[in-house]
Amino acid sequence: MEEITRMPLLGEEFPKVKVQTTHGPKVLPDDYAGKWFILFSHPADFTPVCTTEFVAFANKAEEFKKLGVELIGLSVDQVFSHIKWDEWIEENLNVQIPFPIIADSAEGVSKKLGMIHPGKSQSNTVRAVFVVDPQGKMRLMIYYPQEIGRSVDEVLRAVKALQISDKYGVATPENWPNNELIGDHVIIPPATDIQTAMERKGKPGCFDWWFCHKELKES
Of 38, 50, 113, 164, catalytic? 50
Q: Which residue(s) pair with 28 in the sheet?
A: 17
H/E stretch holding 81: helix 79-93
Yes or no: say if 32 and 137 are a contact pair by the CB < 8 Å rule.
no
Yes or no: say if 166 and 185 are a contact pair by the CB < 8 Å rule.
no
H/E stretch holding 142: strand 138-144
Q: Classify residue 25 as exposed, middle or buried by CB count within 10 Å of its CB (0-12, 13-18, 19+).
A: exposed
- Catalytic status, residue 206: no
Yes or no: say if 81 and 45 are a contact pair by the CB < 8 Å rule.
yes
Distance of alpha carbon 73 from alpha carbon 130, whole angstroms: 11
Residues forming the active site: 50
